Structures are given as structure tokens and as C-alpha cells.
Amino acid sequence: MENLVLPAPAPVLLPVAGSEALFPVRRIYCVGRNYADHAKEMGGDPQREPPFFFAKPADAAIPSGRRIAFPPATRNLHHEAELVVAIGLAGSDIPATGAERHIWGHAAGNDLTRRDLQDAAKAGRRPWSMAKGFDNSAVIGALHPLSETGPMTSGRIRCHVDGALRQDGDLADMIWPVNEVIAFLSRLVTLAPGDLIMTGTPAGVGPILPGQSCRVSIDGLGAAETAFD
């Protein structure tokens, strides 16, 4: 074994529903504006815009149930309820018709966003990294194997803040369904086991305040929950 000048980072591990097994996270890819109603509320045009991607560091992922510090450097933290796809088989240039075999499973997720930082980045034509990829910014529920859930082409996706309903959509309303997202992304990078894809959010994104709790739920997948100090 090579001599390391620093201790190797601990692996990022997420729970598997109904099991003691853990899923190791390699990378986190996110799809922007993948629901027409959300694209419109953010000022986009869902009829013309091709899919685009941004990333979060692997260690931004935290399991459901954590209580975390309210993120620094923001006065406008937003929730974004999302279906998370976990990759179990490597591939590049994957055809949409064969994408399902690369899926290990699914989970509910929350793509936390420092919206004020994102708005400033957009205005300055700058990257979104600090708006999207900060500490604890990817809340991930327990992963469910594909063999239990099927392809997840439909199902209600909701977000509650302190029990109040904020987002209520259906996975069937994605502009680019999961198989097309995988196909498109795999033409840009080689997907590998351990990769997570956060597949976009429906309309209704909004603020979370210090002291509040947030719950994202998807039919058949349980929830991704967190509370903020």
C-alpha cells in the first residue's frame, strides 16, 4: 500500500432500506430544470432547453434523519424535492432503451440550494458550485433496490416544511425521464457504480428557515428528512 501523506477520506455511505447494507457514493450529478412547471417558475423555457447538469461533491450527501446546522452565507435556503437514481453498473454512451440495467436503485432526495448565491452566480454568468455544492446539501433517503421499486416512471413527489405542503408533483411530469437522463449524461462522462443522479424538482421550491424541518417523500420510496438548527 502506498504511503499516504494524509489520512484517506472516509467513504460516504448511505443506508439501504430494510437492510444493514450500505451504498458507497462516488459522485453526485444533478439535472437542472427537469420539470416544465419548475423551469417556468425559474424563468426557463422547457420547450427549447436541452438537459444540463451540475455536480455536488460526494461528501455533500447525508442520510435522512440528520439535524444539521443552518448553512452559512445564505439568507435564502431553498428545498428541492427530487428522485435520486443510484447507478450500479458502469457505462458510457448508454442507449436510453438499455439504461434501466445500469440502475441499482432509487431514493427520495432534497437538493438544498442557497438561492441567493445561485441568483448572484446567474447574474454574473458564474458557476453555481457554492450555491449547490456546500456541506450537507444533498439529503438522501434510504435507497431501495430496483428489484423492489421497478423503473419509477410515475409516483407522487412531495415536500413539506414544518408539516406544510410546499411541493406536490408526479415523476411522470419529468421533461427527460430517467432513462433519457442516464443516456444523455453517459455521453458526457462515464458513469460508474456509486454514482447518484438527482433528477430535478417540480414547482413550488421555497425557503427553509433556521429551526424548521423539511421532509421530501416519494410514493414507494419513503422520505428524506432533515431539521435545521
Q: Is residue 8 part of a domain?
A: no
Instruction: Please report whether residue 55 resides in a domain.
Output: yes
Total domains in the chain come to: 1
Assess if residue 6 is contained within a domain: no
| DSSP string of 13-27, one letter each residue | EEEBTTSS-EEE---
Range of the structural domain that residue 182 is part of: 13-228
d(CA 188, CA 183): 9
Residue 3 placed within a domain:
no
Question: What is the phi/psi pair of residue 64, to 5°?
Answer: -60, 150
pLDDT in tens, 40-94: 665 666 665 778 999 999 999 999 999 999 999 999 999 999 999 999 999 999 9
| 2-17 pLDDT per residue, tens | 799 999 999 999 999 9
Q: What pLDDT is stored for residue 50 in this prediction?
A: 79
Smallest CA-to-CA distance from 169 within 195, 128, 202, 129 is with 202
Mean pLDDT, rounded, for 150-158: 97
Domain CATH code at residue 210: 3.90.850.10
